[in-house]
Structure 1
Amino acid sequence: VGEIGLDYYWDKESRDLQKEWFVRQLALSKKAGLPVIIHSRDAGKDTFDIMKAEHAGSTGGVIHCFSNSREMARDYVNMGYFIGIGGVVTFKNARVMKEVAEYVPLEQILIETDCPYLAPAPNRGKRNSSLYLPYIIEEIARIKGVSKELVEEKTCENALKMYQIV
């Protein structure tokens, strides 16, 4: 079920209304037995608090385009969620995202594009594409000190597991 969550960046809808619908969507995922794809922009604490209260230990899912701290990544991983890592990890100034990629076990990472946004270096600023996923794989492999092939294999397995395909 997704992409669901909270987005405080634009502040077009009231935060209380967003929270109400987010809780309802999480309940729907539990009822249907489906994983969630969580969007959280400028709403890290509220998203985490709702996830912990309403969804932890249920159907799992991914925290899409994760952009919070290593500690919050740890807490999500401990609740059974995957961490979505996209092009930001390839940016030179993405210290926190690189720390997250280093910390999160490879078995809990999914790679993603967030197309058309957040294209990885060297394509930063261009329209993103799944053709650029190898840049993300390469950077995660570099950070973790493992082969690109291992990162590709594990993240593929993780996607199949998260989407309940295997």
Structure 2
Amino acid sequence: MGKDNDLIWHLPDDFKRFKQITTGHFIVMGRKTFESFPKPLPNRTHVIITRQEDYTVPEGCIVVNSLKKAIEVCPKNEDIFIIGGGEIYRQSMAIADKIELTRVFTAPEADTFFPEIDLKEWKLTYEEFHPKDQKHDFDFSFLTYVRA
């Protein structure tokens, strides 16, 4: 997924899909993921999880100290998107009901990974393959899993 708090590939269609599905929603992330953005992403409410008690963020962002509190500050009966990093993904697997994943068909050096998806617990309901092209260095697929 990442290395040194940065993405390890540049896939414009993946960025477009991410923007399309998260715009207008609450996005939950760890502090390092938040700090990897040059500025807050437009038209989304950022919920940042950190243990730093005096962590300051731009107006409109919310800071909490646990995944449980992050979920509590989000609106009920609306989609909430957990967007990283690796530890936040790991913690959220037990409570998630859907996974929107981009699988990139390469094996670069990385230090952050998405947790293993147990196919006894998750069912693949959507798959869309994208071959590499002038704008995309790697083949990739958009995958949607729902809890079985």
Structure with greater strand share of residues: 2
TM-score (norm 1): 0.36
- Identify, as 1 or 2, the structure richer in helix: 1
The TM-score with structure 2 as length reference comes to: 0.38
Higher relative contact order (CA 8 A, sep 6+): 2
